[in-house]
C-alpha cells in the first residue's frame, strides 16, 4: 500500500482503476456485491473507471451504487490489482495494489498475531497452472506423435468457470479410464511441489482425474516396475513433493526443516536423481530465493535427457512459481497467456518456440485466467482492509504494517529499499526488467520491411502496434495479417497529429524516409518517448543528441541490416580482439541484398526488395576508404565506373562491389585507431555486370537528380516511350533511333557491346516503343531518377515464386603483442521464403531489416535504463543482446552469422589469405 497523509477527515471515497498492465488482466479488487455492501455500510462514494474487458461490466457496478468516472482524481483511495504506471499516478492519493514486489516486501497484509497471510491469489494460480499444464501435456504428446485424452483439455481461460473446468476434467477422466494414456508414456506421473495455497489448488484440479498418489520414496521403483499393462494406463499418478523429499545436508545427507529454512545454503538437492527422471508433468509451486538450492539445473536436465530411457519423461513443466533462472534454472522468462509455452533443448542449451525439448509454461499472472472466481475470493479477503481504509482508520495494525510508502517516501521499516535502488543505479547494466505489461509501439510507415517487424513483436506477446501511414490501404492490408494492430492516418506535416500519436505510445519506430525522422524524433523528445530507426544518423538527427540525453530519451538509429546488424557483428569481434589485448589492422566489410542466383536472370542481375530510390542513389554517393595504406576518394559521379570488378567471397557467387560512402568515418564509431590500420573499407555487393550497365544509364541521364519542375513538384510522362524520349532527347522511339542516341551520348559505336547491352535493357524495360515488350503506363516523379526507379521496380520485382538473398561478410586482421595475427571472418547468407498464388513470401531484406529493428525495440522496452541520446547499436548493451536474440530466432526467421578465426605468424601471411589481396 502507498499511503498519502494529505489531511482528510471522515469517510474516504474509493476509486477502482481500469486494469491496463496487459490485455488479459480482467480481475477487479472489489466485486459489485462488495461495492454495494461498502456503500451501504459506510455511505462512501465509489468511483469506477469504465472498462470493456473487466470481468464485471460497468452496469453491474452502477446498479451496485458506484459512479462510473474516467477521472479518479475525485477519489481519496485508489484500488487496483496491478501496479499503476508512474505516468498515471495522481498526487496526494492513497494507492492499494497487489503488485509483484514480493522479493522485496514479501506479503505484508498479515494477521498481526499469527502472521498468516490475509489476502492472496495463490490457490487460483494453482488451479490455472495445473489446467494449463495438462493442456500443454496434451499438446506436447501430440507433437511427439501421440494422441491422448489430454488433448481435449483447453487453457483455463477458455472455460466460463472453475466448476465447468472440473466437470470437463471428469469427462476427460472417463476417456482415460476407458482408453488409457499412450503406452509409451506409462505410467503418467504428475509431480506436485510445495504445500501452500498454490499446491492446494493444483491438487484440487488433479483429483478431478482418475488418480492415485505415490510416495516420493517409492517413485523410482514404481516407474521402473512398469510392465506396459493397462492397469498403469487408466489413471494418472500424483507425487506430492516437499523439501524433505529432495533436499539434504551437504555434510551428512540428513534433513532438518528448521535448519533448512534458516540456513538453506547448507543443503543441496537430489531432485534430479530421485524425482525428475520419473516424472511426466512437473507442476512447480515452491517459494524460492537464491539462498536455496535449485530444484533443477541446466546441467542436471541435460544429464537426464542424454539417457535414452528418459525420452518420455519430464516432457512438460508448469512452473507456477516463475522465478526467472531460479529454482528451475532454465525458466528464463515469464511466458504469456497468448503464447503460454516455450521449449528448452538441454542438449544444445537453446530456448526456442519449436516443439523440441522440454515444454515450459511460466505464466506469471495465472489467476487472471479465472477472473470471476479469483476476483470474488480476493474481494472477500480484501474487504475488511478496504473497510478500515474507508473509515480513515490507518492506525489499524494490519493497515499500518501493509503500508510501504507514506508522504512521498519509504516508511522507516522499508528504508533498506533505498540501498537497493542505489545499487540498481550503480550497476544498471546488470538489471533485467521482466515486465509483462501491455506495451504500445507506434510504427510510422507501412512499407516493405514492416511485416517481419510486427510479426516479431507480436510473437513476444503483450505488445500492440499502431501503424501510422499515409497509405491507408497498404497499412490495413499489413494490419490484416496480425492480431494486435491498429491503423491510423499519418500526415507528417501535421505536428499536432504526430504529437498525439507519439504521446499515446511507449516507443516510436520510424520506417519512413530518413528526412522525416527528425519530425518524430523531436516529438519523441518532447514527450519523453524512446525511438528506433533503421537509417543512417543524419546531421539533423545528430543535432538532437544533447536534447535527447537531457530528457532521458534513447533514439537508436542504424539498426537494420546495413547499417544495423553489420555494426553488431563487427563490434562483437572488435571488442573481443581488444579485450584480449589485440588491435585491428584491417577491416573489410561487404553487404548486399540480391536476388537468389536462380532469380537474377535480368540485365542488371538485380530485383527490388526495398526503396528503388535508395538503391539508385547508393550508386551516386561519393566514397572514401583506406586500402593497403592508400587513402582513396571517389567522386559520386565516378563511383559506378570505379567499382571493384571481382569480390570473391564465396566460390558459388560472382560478385562485384561498390565502395559504400565514407568508410573512414567508422574508424571512431568502431573505436579503431587510424594509425594501426592498413585497410578500412565498407562496400556494397552486386552481381557482376551491374555497375557497368548502371554506369551507362547514369551517363545517359537516367539517374539525374535535378528537379523536373521549378517548384520541385512531380512531372508526369504518359508512358515509357515519352520518358525515354525526354531523357535521350530523341523525337522517335524506335529501336534504331534509341540505339543512335545511346551510341552518340556514350561516344561508342552502334555495335559496341555496351551500346547493345543498354539498348536491349531499355527494350526489356518497355522503354522502346516499337517492341513487343513495350509497356504503357503513366509515370510520375520529381526527378528522372525517381521515374526510372518506378520503371525498374515495375520490371524487376519478385514474383511469389521467387526469393531474394542477403549476404553480409566482415573480415578482420588482428595483431597481438606476441607477434601473432588472427584473420577473423563473420558471414551471413540468408534467403527469403517462397510464396504461392495467394500470398507473397517474406523477403530476406525485409527480415534482416525488420527483425533487428524489432529486437532493438523490445530491448528498449525491457530496459528503461539503457543508454540515452542519439546512438547506434555499437555499444555492448545493444549489440550483445541483439546478436544473442538473432542466434535464437526460429529457423523460419533465421539470421545467423558464421564466425571463423585462423592464426598466422605474420601480417603479410594473414593479409595474403584475406579478401584484401583478392579484390580487384
Q: Which of 127-131, 330-334, 768-772, 790-794 has the highest mean pLDDT?
A: 127-131
In a domain, 110, yes or no: no
Name 351's bridge partners.
344
Q: So what's the pLDDT on residue 9?
A: 63
Q: So what's the pLDDT on residue 489?
A: 94
Q: Which of 178-192, 427-441, 888-902 has the highest mean pLDDT?
A: 178-192
The mean pLDDT value for 585-611 works out to 90
The string of pLDDT tens digits covering residues 333-345 is 889 898 899 999 9
**Chain center to CA of 217:** 44
The string of pLDDT tens digits covering residues 447-494 is 888 999 999 998 888 899 999 999 999 999 999 988 889 999 999 999
Closest CA to 459 of 296, 279, 554, 339: 339
Could you give phi then psi for residue 626, rounded to 5 degrees? Answer: -120, 125
Of the listed ranges 319-323, 427-431, 574-578, 739-743, the least confidently predicted one is 427-431
**CATH code at 905?**
3.30.360.10
Q: So what's the pLDDT on residue 769?
A: 77
Q: What CA–CA distance (Å, rounded) separates 812 from 576?
A: 12
| pLDDT tier for residue 657 given thresholds of 50, 70 and 90 | very high
Q: Residue 814: exposed, middle, or buried by beta-carbon count in 10 A (0-12, 13-18, 19+)?
A: buried
In a domain, 569, yes or no: no
Instruction: Please enumerate, as own/partner, the contacts of 709-715 that have beta carbons within 8 Å and a separation of 24 or more.
Output: 709/782, 712/782, 713/782, 714/780, 714/781, 714/782, 715/780, 715/781, 715/782, 715/787
* Residue 530 or 862, more confident: 530
**CATH code at 76?**
3.40.50
Query: Which three cell numbers mark 542?
Result: 545528430
In a domain, 866, yes or no: yes
- Do residue 890 and residue 900 come from a single domain? no
| pLDDT tier for residue 8 given thresholds of 50, 70 and 90 | low
Q: So what's the pLDDT on residue 771?
A: 46
The string of pLDDT tens digits covering residues 721-763 is 889 999 999 888 888 999 999 999 999 999 999 999 999 999 9
Query: Which three cell numbers mark 67?
Result: 459512479
Q: What CA–CA distance (Å, rounded) separates 485 from 379?
A: 34
Query: Which three cell numbers mark 212?
Result: 492415485
- Do residue 614 and residue 729 come from a single domain? no
- Do residue 306 and residue 157 come from a single domain? yes
Closest CA to 121 of 45, 7, 19, 197: 197
The string of pLDDT tens digits covering residues 668-688 is 999 999 999 999 999 999 999
3-state DSSP call for residue 913? helix
DSSP sequence for 190-217: EEEE-SSHHHHHHHHHHTTSSEEE--GG
* Residue 408 or 149, more confident: 149
Q: So what's the pLDDT on residue 438?
A: 79
Q: So what's the pLDDT on residue 644?
A: 96
| pLDDT tier for residue 773 given thresholds of 50, 70 and 90 | very low
| CA separation, residue 700 to residues 337, 689, 793 (Å) | 60, 17, 19
In a domain, 115, yes or no: no
If one counts the domains in the chain, the total is 5
Residue % of the chain over a pLDDT of 90: 68
| pLDDT tier for residue 777 given thresholds of 50, 70 and 90 | low
Alpha helices by DSSP H, listed for 296-390, are 298-306, 371-390
The string of pLDDT tens digits covering residues 812-822 is 999 998 789 99
Instruction: Report whether 310 contacts 302 (CB < 8 A).
Output: no
Within 10 angstroms of residue 710's Cβ, the number of other Cβ atoms is 6
- Do residue 420 and residue 448 come from a single domain? no
Spell out the residues 6+ positions from residue 874 whose beta carbon is closer than 8 angstroms to its own. 567, 568, 571, 669, 670
Q: What CA–CA distance (Å, rounded) separates 812 from 916?
A: 10
Q: What CA–CA distance (Å, rounded) separates 262 from 752?
A: 91
Of the listed ranges 330-334, 400-404, 450-454, 522-526, the least confidently predicted one is 400-404
Q: So what's the pLDDT on residue 772?
A: 44
Supply the Cα-derived Rg of the chain in whole angstroms: 33
- Do residue 34 and residue 133 come from a single domain? no
Q: So what's the pLDDT on residue 106?
A: 46
| pLDDT tier for residue 395 given thresholds of 50, 70 and 90 | confident
- Do residue 686 and residue 799 come from a single domain? yes
Q: In 679-802, which ranges are E strands?
A: 679-687, 715-717, 779-781
Answer yes or no: is pLDDT of 787 > 80: yes
- Per the prediction, the chain carries an average pLDDT of 89
Q: What is the DSSP letter of 85?
A: P
Q: So what's the pLDDT on residue 149?
A: 96
Q: So what's the pLDDT on residue 459?
A: 85
Instruction: Report whether 238 contacts 211 (CB < 8 A).
Output: yes
- Do residue 148 and residue 32 come from a single domain? no
Instruction: Report whether 331 contacts 325 (CB < 8 A).
Output: yes
DSSP sequence for 564-593: BHHHHHHHHHHHHHHHTT-EEEEEEEEEEE
Q: So what's the pLDDT on residue 93?
A: 86
In a domain, 113, yes or no: no
Q: So what's the pLDDT on residue 414?
A: 67
Answer yes or no: is pLDDT of 3 > 60: no
Q: So what's the pLDDT on residue 860?
A: 94
Exactly one of 34, 562, 566, 719 is catalytic; which is it? Answer: 562
Answer yes or no: is pLDDT of 85 > 60: yes
Q: Residue 886: exposed, middle, or buried by beta-carbon count in 10 A (0-12, 13-18, 19+)?
A: buried
3-state DSSP call for residue 638? helix
Of the listed ranges 408-417, 475-484, 620-629, the least confidently predicted one is 408-417
Q: So what's the pLDDT on residue 409?
A: 74
Write down how long the chain is. Answer: 920
Q: So what's the pLDDT on residue 86?
A: 74
| CA separation, residue 519 to residues 170, 449, 509, 553, 766 (Å) | 60, 21, 12, 15, 39
| pLDDT tier for residue 774 given thresholds of 50, 70 and 90 | very low
Answer yes or no: is pLDDT of 102 > 50: no
In a domain, 108, yes or no: no
Answer yes or no: is pLDDT of 863 > 90: no
Cα torsion 878, 883, 884, 886 to 10°: value is: 120
Query: Which three cell numbers mark 646?
Result: 571481382
- Do residue 147 and residue 284 come from a single domain? yes
**CATH code at 464?**
3.40.50.720
DSSP sequence for 595-632: E-GGG--STTS---SS-HHHHHHHTTS-EEEEETTEEE
- Do residue 698 and residue 759 come from a single domain? no
Within 10 angstroms of residue 295's Cβ, the number of other Cβ atoms is 27
Q: What is the DSSP letter of 12?
A: P
Q: What is the DSSP letter of 563?
A: T
- Do residue 496 and residue 520 come from a single domain? yes
- Do residue 140 and residue 186 come from a single domain? yes
In a domain, 112, yes or no: no
- Grid-cell match 489430454, residue found: 150
Of the listed ranges 301-315, 348-362, 538-552, 555-569, the least confidently predicted one is 348-362
Q: What CA–CA distance (Å, rounded) separates 191 from 197?
A: 16
- Do residue 411 and residue 459 come from a single domain? no
Enumerate helices (H) and strands (E) in the chain, giving the number of each.
29, 35
The mean pLDDT value for 118-129 works out to 76
Check if 562 is active-site. Answer: yes
Query: Which three cell numbers mark 550?
Result: 537531457
Q: Which of 736, 758, 781 is the last residue of a domain?
A: 781
Alpha helices by DSSP H, listed for 747-799, are 753-764, 784-795
Query: Which three cell numbers mark 790?
Result: 518506378
In a domain, 40, yes or no: yes
Instruction: Report whether 716 contacts 778 (CB < 8 A).
Output: yes
DSSP sequence for 841-901: ---HHHHHHHHHHHHHHHHHHH-TTS--EEE-S-SHHHHHHHHHHHHTS-GGG----EEEE
Q: So what's the pLDDT on residue 609?
A: 72
Intra-chain end-to-end CA distance of the chain, in Å: 71
- Grid-cell match 562496400, residue found: 683
DSSP sequence for 665-704: GHHHHTT--GGG-SEEEEEEEEETTHHHHHHHHHHHTTT-
| pLDDT tier for residue 318 given thresholds of 50, 70 and 90 | very high
Residues spanned by the domain of 340 = 122-363
Amino acid at each position: 500500500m502507498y499511503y498519502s497523509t494529505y489531511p482528510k477527515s471522515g469517510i474516504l471515497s474509493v476509486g477502482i482503476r481500469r486494469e491496463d498492465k496487459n490485455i488479459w488482466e480482467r480481475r477487479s479488487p472489489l466485486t459489485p456485491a462488495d461495492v454495494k455492501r461498502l456503500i451501504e455500510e459506510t455511505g462512501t462514494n465509489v468511483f469506477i473507471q469504465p472498462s470493456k474487458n473487466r470481468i464485471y461490466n460497468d452496469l453491474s457496478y452502477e446498479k451496485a451504487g458506484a459512479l462510473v468516472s474516467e477521472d479518479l482524481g475525485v477519489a481519496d483511495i485508489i484500488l487496483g490489482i496491478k501496479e499503476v504506471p508512474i505516468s498515471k499516478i495522481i498526487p496526494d492519493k492513497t494507492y492499494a495494489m497487489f503488485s509483484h514486489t514480493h522479493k522485496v516486501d514479501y506479503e505484508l497484509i498479515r494477521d498481526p498475531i499469527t502472521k498468516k497471510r490475509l489476502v492472496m491469489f495463490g490457490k487460483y494460480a494453482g488451479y490455472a497452472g495445473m489446467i494449463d499444464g495438462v493442456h500443454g501435456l496434451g499438446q506436447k504428446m501430440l507433437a511427439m506423435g501421440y494422441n491422448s485424452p489430454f488433448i481435449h483439455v483447453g487453457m483455463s481461460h477458455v472455460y466460463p468457470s472453475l466448476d465447468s473446468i472440473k466437470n470437463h476434467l471428469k469427462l476427460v477422466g472417463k476417456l482415460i479410464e476407458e482408453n488409457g494414456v499412450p503406452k509409451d508414456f506409462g505410467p503418467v506421473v504428475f509431480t506436485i511441489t510445495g504445500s501452500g495455497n498454490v499446491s492446494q489448488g493444483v491438487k484440487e484440479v488433479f483429483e478431478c482425474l482418475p488418480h492415485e498418489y505415490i510416495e516420493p520414496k517409492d517413485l523410482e521403483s514404481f516407474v521402473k516396475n512398469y510392465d506396459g499393462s493397462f492397469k498403469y494406463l487408466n489413471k494418472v499418478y500424483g507425487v506430492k513433493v516437499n523439501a524433505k523429499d529432495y533436499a539434504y545436508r551437504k555434510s551428512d545427507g540428513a534433513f532438518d526443516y528448521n535448519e533448512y529454512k534458516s540456513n538453506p545454503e547448507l543443503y543441496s538437492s537430489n531432485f534430479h536423481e530421485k524425482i525428475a527422471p520419473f516424472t511426466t508433468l512437473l507442476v512447480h509451486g515452491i517459494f524460492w530465493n537464491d539462498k536455496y538450492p535449485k530444484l533443477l539445473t541446466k546441467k542436471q536436465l541435460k544429464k537426464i535427457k542424454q539417457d535414452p530411457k528418459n525420452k518420455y519423461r519430464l516432457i512438460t513443466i508448469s512452473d507456477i512459481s516463475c522465478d526467472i533462472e531460479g529454482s528451475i534454472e532454465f525458466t528464463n522468462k515469464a511466458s504469456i497467456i497468448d503464447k503460454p509455452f516455450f521449449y528448452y533443448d538441454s542438449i544444445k542449451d537453446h530456448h526456442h518456440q519449436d516443439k523440441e525439448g522440454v515444454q515450459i509454461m511460466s505464466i506469471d499472472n495465472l489467476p487472471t485466467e479465472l477472473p470471476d472466481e479469483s476476483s470474488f475470493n480476493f474481494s472477500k479477503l480484501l474487504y475488511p482492509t478496504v473497510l478500515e481504509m474507508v473509515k480513515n482508520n490507518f492506525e489499524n495494525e494490519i493497515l499500518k504494517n501493509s503500508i510501504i510508502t507514506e508522504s512521498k517516501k519509504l516508511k522507516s521499516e522499508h528504508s533498506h529499499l533505498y540501498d537497493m535502488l542505489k545499487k540498481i543505479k550503480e550497476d544498471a547494466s546488470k538489471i533485467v526488467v521482466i515486465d509483462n505489461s501491455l506495451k504500445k509501439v507506434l510504427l510510422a510507415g507501412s512499407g516493405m520491411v514492416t511485416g517481419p517487424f510486427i510479426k516479431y513483436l507480436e510473437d513476444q506477446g503483450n505488445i500492440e502496434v499502431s501503424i501510422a501511414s499515409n497509405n491507408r490501404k497498404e497499412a490495413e492490408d499489413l494490419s490484416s495479417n496480425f492480431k494486435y494492430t491498429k491503423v491510423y492516418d499519418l500526415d507528417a506535416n501535421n505536428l499536432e497529429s504526430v504529437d498525439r500519436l507519439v504521446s499515446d505510445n511507449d516507443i516510436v519506430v520510424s520506417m519512413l524516409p530518413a528526412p522525416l525522422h527528425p519530425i518524430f524524433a523531436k516529438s519523441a523528445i518532447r514527450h519523453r518517448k524512446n525511438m528506433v530507426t533503421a537509417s543512417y544518423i543524419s546531421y539533423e538527427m545528430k543535432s538532437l543528441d544533447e536534447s535527447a540525453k537531457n530528457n532521458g530519451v534513447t533514439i537508436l538509429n542504424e539498426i537494420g541490416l546495413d547499417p544495423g546488424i553489420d555494426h553488431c557483428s563487427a563490434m562483437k569481434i572488435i571488442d573481443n580482439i581488444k579485450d584480449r589485448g589485440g588491435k585491428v589492422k584491417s577491416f573489410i566489410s561487404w553487404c548486399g541484398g540480391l536476388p537468389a542466383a536462380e532469380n537474377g536472370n535480368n540485365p542488371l542481375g538485380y530485383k527490388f526488395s526495398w526503396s528503388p530510390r535508395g538503391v539508385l542513389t547508393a550508386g551516386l554517393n561519393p566514397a572514401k576508404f583506406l586500402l593497403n595504406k592508400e587513402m582513396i576518394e571517389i567522386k559520386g559521379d565516378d563511383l559506378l565506373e570505379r567499382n571493384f570488378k571481382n569480390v570473391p567471397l564465396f566460390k558459388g557467387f560472382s560478385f562485384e562491389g561498390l565502395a559504400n560512402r565514407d568508410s573512414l568515418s567508422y574508424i571512431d564509431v568502431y573505436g579503431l585507431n587510424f594509425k594501426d590500420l592498413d585497410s578500412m573499407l565498407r562496400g556494397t555487393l552486386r552481381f557482376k555486370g551491374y555497375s557497368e550497365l548502371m554506369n551507362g544509364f547514369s551517363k545517359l541521364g537516367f539517374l539525374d537528380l535535378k528537379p523536373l519542375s521549378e517548384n520541385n513538384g512531380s512531372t508526369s510522362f504518359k508512358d515509357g516511350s515519352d520518358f525515354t524520349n525526354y531523357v535521350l532527347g530523341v523525337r522517335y522511339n524506335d529501336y534504331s533511333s534509341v540505339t543512335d542516341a545511346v551510341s552518340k551520348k556514350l561516344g561508342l559505336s552502334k555495335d559496341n557491346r555496351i551500346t547493345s547491352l543498354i539498348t536491349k535493357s531499355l527494350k526489356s524495360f518497355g522503354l522502346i516503343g516499337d517492341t513487343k515488350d513495350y509497356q504503357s503506363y503513366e509515370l510520375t516523379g520529381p526527378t528522372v531518377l525517381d521515374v526510372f526507379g518506378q520503371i525498374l521496380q515495375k520490371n524487376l520485382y519478385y514474383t511469389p515464386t521467387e526469393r531474394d538473398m542477403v549476404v553480409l561478410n566482415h573480415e578482420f586482421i588482428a595483431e597481438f603483442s606476441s607477434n601473432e595475427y588472427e584473420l577473423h571472418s563473420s558471414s551471413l547468407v540468408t534467403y527469403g521464403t517462397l510464396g504461392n498464388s495467394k500470398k507473397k513470401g517474406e523477403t530476406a531484406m525485409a527480415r534482416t531489416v525488420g527483425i533487428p529493428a524489432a529486437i532493438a525495440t523490445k530491448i528498449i522496452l525491457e530496459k528503461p535504463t539503457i543508454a540515452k541520446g542519439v546512438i547506434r547499436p555499437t555499444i555492448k548493451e545493444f549489440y550483445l543482446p541483439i546478436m544473442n536474440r538473432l542466434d535464437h530466432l526460429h529457423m523460419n526467421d533465421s539470421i545467423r552469422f558464421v564466425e571463423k578465426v585462423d592464426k598466422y605468424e605474420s601480417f603479410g601471411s594473414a593479409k595474403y589469405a584475406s579478401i584484401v589481396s583478392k579484390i580487384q
